[in-house]
Amino acid sequence: MMEVKSLLSERTQFMKASDIRELLKWVTEDVISLGGGMPDPSTFPKELADIARDVIATKGSSALQYGKTEGVDELKDELIRFMAKDGIKADRDEIIITTGSQEALDLVGRITIDAGNVVITERPTYLAALQAFKAYRPNIVGIDMDSEGMVMDKLEEAVKKSISDGRRIKFIYVIPTCQNPTGISMSIDRRKHLMELASKYDLLIVEDNPYSYFLFDGIYVPPLKSMDYENRVVYMSTFSKIIAPGIRVGWVVGNRELIRWIAMAKQAVDLHTSTLSQYIALEALRRGIIERNLPRIREVYKVKRDAMLDALAKYMPEQVTWTRPIGGMFVWASVNGVRTEDMLPVAVSKYKVAYVPGKSFYPAEDVHTSMRLNFTYPSVDMIYEGIRRLSNAIRDELKRSGN
Amino acid sequence: MMEVKSLLSERTQFMKASDIRELLKWVTEDVISLGGGMPDPSTFPKELADIARDVIATKGSSALQYGKTEGVDELKDELIRFMAKDGIKADRDEIIITTGSQEALDLVGRITIDAGNVVITERPTYLAALQAFKAYRPNIVGIDMDSEGMVMDKLEEAVKKSISDGRRIKFIYVIPTCQNPTGISMSIDRRKHLMELASKYDLLIVEDNPYSYFLFDGIYVPPLKSMDYENRVVYMSTFSKIIAPGIRVGWVVGNRELIRWIAMAKQAVDLHTSTLSQYIALEALRRGIIERNLPRIREVYKVKRDAMLDALAKYMPEQVTWTRPIGGMFVWASVNGVRTEDMLPVAVSKYKVAYVPGKSFYPAEDVHTSMRLNFTYPSVDMIYEGIRRLSNAIRDELKRSGN
């Protein structure tokens, strides 16, 4: 039996299992989990079974074979049409298909970040993005948000400071629409301001956009990529929430030279994304199944979001505040005087409810009073019951801490 | 438009597109390619279309949903049974499912290699393994092979030298059965010797075993992992050649602590491998389709290997030598006095035949006289015609260089 520690690379020492993953290990049947980030399986298109059979039966010699690292050309063509509705223009060689958005995050980090480089993010931000970037040891600078998204004065201040410190900023990572974890959407003015600052300081923006396909309130927010006149936005999205996460297909749009480097990196990482999955996505787009399915997904999730907001209003003590997202999958709740990571074991074991403590969404893990609540996976009944249980856990914790 | 170069990380400067990839760009319809590494699509099991439909229709809420980073438990259970026939024992937590073997190579490199560490390989070795490892900047030491595989005296010498140089050896990477690119299989004595040396010097072995399922001549070679009494072999294999490459499913077996680190790294890279692909592989194993399909694959490839060996004997000038593999996908040919990478453009454009120049399979790219020839993808007729064309290209080149 070998001593494993001595075999590990330095970068491995910096790895950390995500809190979500650890959390999932404790969750038993009787626990209501508001902690995941999973779509409702009832939204998976029924037609996928036939599509998968047809694709294999009629195009198996391509759909089951090795493929190009950049992805299947016909899928890119469908994506070009799909994204045009959001004002995003792209050629084939400005697109690469990835193994979910997670791989896109890793590859962007891999090709750009040297240890000590600055990466700017919203604060809080998506924890798996932090995980992906941190593997390459950047200095992550989080910028506070308000109800309109990242605060631009603070961003400019941070940019200036990085420059005066002689630190290279590699990119600004943002989820402008229904952000994970907060649910906040960046206002149009703020988006314009962000693009101006990026231009002024010659910065790359990485726009992660998994949620803009399900906005519930008729409010339109254009992606940054559609406002990208200087080609400085690397845009990423995924089929995880509009087809199904299990097929692991995402995509990246950006400067063709950057896409070429991403492809070169991807070749060494996994050769290419499942051709079968790509053909399934292609066929789902081609047959109009995604377009037809989206209104239904929106309706299902709108009801669930409304249920969660209603349950929060109904059950939570006054020390709790929360966001009111116009779409997406998450509500972000904060409780003055409670350390949510410390409350979690009690919430799970005694109150039978789970959530993701907010700490891991902060680059420096220095804020402890928040939690991310998912409304897409649990049923409406489970949402009410879950929030009721959570409110009791919070009351208990507030009492214990004397607040 | 941004200046992309300045955004790239240092590691990106070391990336290089594989020669195979570059090669494929030139290959037009009228070129016979012996350069790929693709299975014959006629070997893809016909049953996959129904399996895919059934899996989605009956298990869609799992098969299309997010899954555990380590992989689907039921697939691991089937793999445990599948590998037992080769004398490999494993528990669930000693297995991780990967996005093809390529991801396994990347993840092993990622968790172990610091810049300057030594990685030992056969010389030549699989070029995509070199690509994966090189991203982490090791010092790759290639060990010469003879007809029985890696030469053990040279291995021990290299190990001693690394130790006396104070360089940490992270692992020995080998493809013991029907090696890529040479087709050579390591003899049983050599395998035992390798295990002894690994034990003596306390070294980790990474065994890549995609080909042992199709041996054509009734010669049995046990995997190193089946002789691994000290748990120092990390074993990797793939469904790419026994189901289909397009589903991108491979797996790794090893020390559970190492598997845990690999899972942690994989989580940041792509969350998990396509659950749909995993369920398809699971069902193909469960229904006995792989077991039933293997004899057919062996028969198809044996005929093609025999055709290639026959064509080589028939057409090649005496300056050409080649290996006689007992299975796998490749024959390795060498021509004294010819630089195969220089010959390639002429071979493709004038003689309409493609191959992979041997150079890229050498860690130091310092041998120029070899080429890798694939016999699994082209038809028997194409093999004869391709080898005939190649022999003419070689004669032409020999004439030009005055040999």
Contact B248 A10 (CB under 8 A): no
| Confidence tier at B13 by pLDDT (50, 70, 90) | confident
- Tokens encoding A356: 């993701």
- Whole-number pLDDT of residue B368: 96
Are A281 and A237 in contact by the 8 Å Cβ rule? The answer is: no
**B48, B57, B66: residue with CB nearest A64:** B48
CA B332 to mean position of chain CA atoms: 14
Q: Token match 């790929």: residue?
A: B36
Is the per-residue pLDDT at A354 higher than 90? yes
8 Å CB contact of A60 and B69: no
Q: In terms of Cα–Cα distance, which of A185, A170, A173 is closest to A142?
A: A173
Q: CB–CB of A46/A39 below 8 Å?
A: no
A342 to chain B, closest Cα gap in Å: 23
Q: From the CA of A62, how many Å to the nearest CA of chain B?
A: 8
For position A76, what pLDDT does the model report? 98
Question: Same CATH fold, B48-290 and B7-44+292-400?
Answer: no
User: In the structure, what pLDDT confidence band is assigned to residue B401 with cuts at 50, 70 and 90?
Assistant: confident
Residue to substitute from A21, A58, A59, A99, interface B, most B β-carbons within 10 A:
A99
Residue A138: both structure tokens together: 């950047």
Distance separating alpha carbons of residues B250 and A42, to the nearest angstrom: 29
Are B218 and B71 in contact by the 8 Å Cβ rule? The answer is no
CATH classification for the domain delimited by A5-44+293-400, as one of 3.40.462.10, 2.70.40.10, 2.60.40.1180, 3.90.1150.10: 3.90.1150.10
**pLDDT, position A291:** 94
Q: Tell me the C-alpha distance between A216 and A197, whole Å.
A: 30
Q: Is B229 on the interface with A (CB under 8 A)?
A: no
Q: Can you tell me the mean pLDDT for A275-299? A: 97
Segment A290-316 shows an average pLDDT of 97
Closest-CA residue of chain A to B169? A7
Nearest-neighbour CA in chain B from A196: distance (Å) = 14
Strand pairing report for A250-253 and A95-98 = antiparallel
Q: What is the pLDDT of residue A23?
A: 63
Closest-CA residue of A relative to B129 is A268
SS (H, E, C) chain B: CCCCHHHCCHHHHCCCCCHHHHHHHHCCCCCEECCCCCCCHHHCCCCHHHHHHHHHHHHHHHHCCCCCCCCCHHHHHHHHHHHHCCCCCCCHHHEEEECHHHHHHHHHHHHHCCCCCEEEEEECCCHHHHHHHHCCCCEEEEEEEECCEECHHHHHHHHHHHHHCCCCEEEEEECCCCCCCCCCCCCHHHHHHHHHHHHHCCCCEEEECCCCCCECCCCCCCCHHHHCCCCCEEEEEECCCCCCHHHCCEEEECCHHHHHHHHHHHHHHHCCCCHHHHHHHHHHHHCCHHHHHHHHHHHHHHHHHHHHHHHHHHHCCCCEEECCCCECCEEEEEECCCCHHHHHHHHHHCCCEECEEHHHHCCCCCCCCEEEEECCCCCHHHHHHHHHHHHHHHHHHHHHCCC
B244 touches chain A (CB under 8 A): yes
Lowest mean pLDDT among A107-116, B196-205, B212-221, B356-365: B212-221
Cβ of A258 under 8 Å from any chain B Cβ? yes
The tokens describing A177, both together, are: 């629409």
The answer on pLDDT for B26 being more than 70 is no
Alpha-carbon distance of B171 to B108, in angstroms, equals 10
Cross-chain residue pair A246–B4, CB shorter than 8 Å: no
Question: Which single residue is written with the structure tokens 């039966």?
Answer: A57
Residues of B in contact with A171 (CB under 8 A): 7
**Measured between beta carbons, which residues in chain B are less than 8 angstroms from residue A54?**
49
**Inter-chain contacts counted by CB atoms under 8 A, chains A and B:** 266
- Tell if the CB–CB gap between A232 and B2 is shorter than 8 Å: yes
Q: Is the peptide bond before A138 cis (omega within 30 degrees of 0)?
A: no
Chain B contact set for A61 (CB, 8 A): 41, 44
B318 touches chain A (CB under 8 A): no
Cα distance between residue B4 and residue B40, in whole Å? 40
pLDDT of residue B14: 73
**Nearest CA-CA distance, residue A296 and chain B, Å:** 17
Choose the closest CB to A246 out of B63, B132, B270. Answer: B63
In this prediction, residue B91 has a pLDDT band, given cuts at 50, 70 and 90, of: very high
**pLDDT at residue number B58:** 97
pLDDT at B19: 61
Q: Please give the pLDDT value at position B18.
A: 65
* Minimum distance, in Å, between the CA of residue B307 and any CA atom of chain A: 23
Q: Tell me if A66 and B247 make a contact (CB, 8 A cut-off).
A: no
Q: What is the CATH number assigned to the segment(s) B48-290?
A: 3.40.640.10
Between chains, do B111 and A9 touch, taking CB under 8 Å as contact? yes
pLDDT for position B312: 98
Digit-coded pLDDT (tens) for A148-168: 999 999 999 999 999 999 999
What is the residue-averaged pLDDT of chain A? 95
* Stretch A65-73: mean pLDDT: 96
Residues B7, A232: Cα–Cα separation, whole Å: 11
Chain B residues within 8 A of A2 when measuring between CB atoms: 202, 204, 230-232, 255
Instruction: Please name the fold of domain B7-44+292-400.
Output: Aspartate Aminotransferase, domain 1 (3.90.1150)
Q: Give the minimum alpha-carbon distance from A148 to chain B in angstroms, rounded to a whole number.
A: 28
Q: Flag if B7 and A258 touch (Cβ within 8 Å).
A: yes
Please name which of B278, B245, B247 lies closest in space to residue B69, comparing C-alpha atoms: B278
Average pLDDT score over chain B = 95
How far is A368 from chain B, CA to nearest CA, in Å?
Answer: 23
In the block, tokens 């070899």 appear at B370
State the average pLDDT over residues A17-45: 82
pLDDT class for B28, splitting at 50, 70, 90? confident
Of the pLDDT bands very low, low, confident and very high (cuts 50, 70, 90), residue A29 is confident
The complex's ipTM? 0.96
Whole-angstrom distance, CA of residue B82 vs CA of residue B96: 15
Which residues, numbered 125 to 184 in chain B, qualify as contacts with chain A under a Cβ-Cβ cut-off of 8 Å?
Answer: 128, 131-132, 134-136, 170-171
Q: 10 Å Cβ neighbour count for A367?
A: 15
* pLDDT tens per residue, range A175-204: 999 999 999 999 999 999 999 999 999 999
What average pLDDT does the segment B123-146 reach? 97
B266 close to A (CB below 8 A): no
Find tokens 């010659």 and name the residue. A202
B244 band by pLDDT with thresholds 50, 70 and 90: very high
Q: What is the pLDDT of residue A11?
A: 87
Q: Decide if B17 touches A, using CB distance below 8 A.
A: yes
Rounded CA separation A338/A364 (Å): 18
Contact between residue A284 and residue A290 where contact means Cβ atoms under 8 Å apart:
yes
Contact check, Cβ <8 Å, A276/B1: no
Whether B248 sits inside 8 A of A258 (CB atoms) is no
User: Which residues partner with B334 through β-bridges?
Assistant: B321, B370
Indicate if the pLDDT at residue B220 is higher than 70.
yes
Contact B1 A255 (CB under 8 A): yes
Instruction: Determine the pLDDT at residue A17.
Output: 66
Flag if A244 and B132 touch (Cβ within 8 Å): no
Any A CB within 8 A of B91 CB: no
C-alpha distances (whole Å) from A182 to each of A127, A128, A261, A329 are 12, 14, 32, 10
Average pLDDT over residues B164-184: 97
Token readout for A38 is 């999973």
Note the pLDDT tens digit of each residue in B305-349: 999 999 999 999 999 999 999 999 999 999 998 999 999 999 999
Query: Which chain A positions have a beta carbon within 8 Å of B52's beta carbon?
Result: 49, 52-53, 56, 276
A108 contacts chain B (CB < 8 A): no
CA distances from A9 to A255, A376, B138, B169, B267 (A): 32, 38, 11, 12, 17
pLDDT of residue B24: 60
Nearest to A53 among B49, B204, B247 (CB): B49
- From the list B53, B69, B232, the residue facing A52 with the nearest CB is B53
Q: Which of B6, B19, B65, B280 to mutate to test the interface with A (most CBs of A within 10 A)?
A: B65
- Whether residues B44 and A64 touch (CB distance < 8 A) is answered with yes
B16·A274 Cβ contact <8 A: no
Please say if the pLDDT value at position B157 is more than 70.
Answer: yes
Q: Label residue A15 by pLDDT band (50, 70, 90).
A: confident
CA dist., res. A166 & res. A14, Å (int):
24
Q: How confident is the model at residue A293 (pLDDT cuts 50, 70, 90)?
A: very high
Q: Which two tokens stand for residue B326?
A: 């007992």
Give the span between the Cα atoms of B31 and A396, in whole angstroms: 74
Contacts 24+ apart (CB under 8 A), B217-223: B217/B326, B217/B327, B219/B185, B219/B326, B221/B176, B221/B177, B221/B185, B221/B186, B221/B188, B221/B191, B222/B86, B222/B87, B222/B188, B222/B191, B223/B86, B223/B87, B223/B88, B223/B176, B223/B177
Instruction: Closest CB to A53: pick one of B53, B117, B135.
Output: B53
Q: Tell me the sheet residues that pair with A94.
A: none
Identify the pLDDT of residue B22. Answer: 65
What's the rounded Cα separation, in Å, for the pair B35 and B284? 29
CA distances to A26, A252, A284, A286 from A79, rounded to whole Å, are 39, 10, 11, 10
Interface test with A, best of B230, B274, B278, B279 (most A CBs within 10 A): B274
Long-range contacts of B29-33 (CB under 8 A, 24+ apart): B30/B352, B31/B348, B31/B352, B31/B353, B31/B354, B32/B352, B32/B353, B32/B354, B32/B378, B32/B382, B32/B385, B32/B386, B32/B389, B33/B353, B33/B354, B33/B355, B33/B374, B33/B377, B33/B378, B33/B386
Instruction: Locate the domains of chain A by residue range.
Output: 5-44+293-400, 48-286
Per-residue model confidence as pLDDT tens digits over B30-46: 999 999 899 999 999 99
Q: What is the mean pLDDT of residues B229-246?
A: 97
Per-residue pLDDT at B21 exceeds 80: no
Of A49, A69, A246, the CB nearest to B65: A246
The CATH number fitting domain A48-286, selected from 3.40.640.10, 3.30.300.30, 1.10.540.10, 1.20.1260.10: 3.40.640.10
Q: What percent of chain B has pLDDT over 90?
A: 91
- Per-residue model confidence (pLDDT) at position B20: 61
Residue A403 has pLDDT above 90, yes or no: no
Q: What is the mean pLDDT of residues A236-252?
A: 97
Interface residue A103 vs chain B (CB under 8 A): yes
Rounded CA separation A346/A327 (Å): 30
Half-sphere exposure of B143 (CA within 13 A, CB side): 24
At B217 the pLDDT is 92
The single residue listed with the structure tokens 């028969």 is B299
Poorest-pLDDT segment among A4-18, A88-102, A144-158, B81-95: A4-18
Q: Which residues of A265-298 are buried (b: 16+ CB within 10 A; e: fewer)?
A: bbbbbbbbbbbbbbbbbbbbbeeebbeebeeebb
Interface membership of B200 toward A (CB under 8 Å): no
Greater confidence, A11 or A66?
Answer: A66
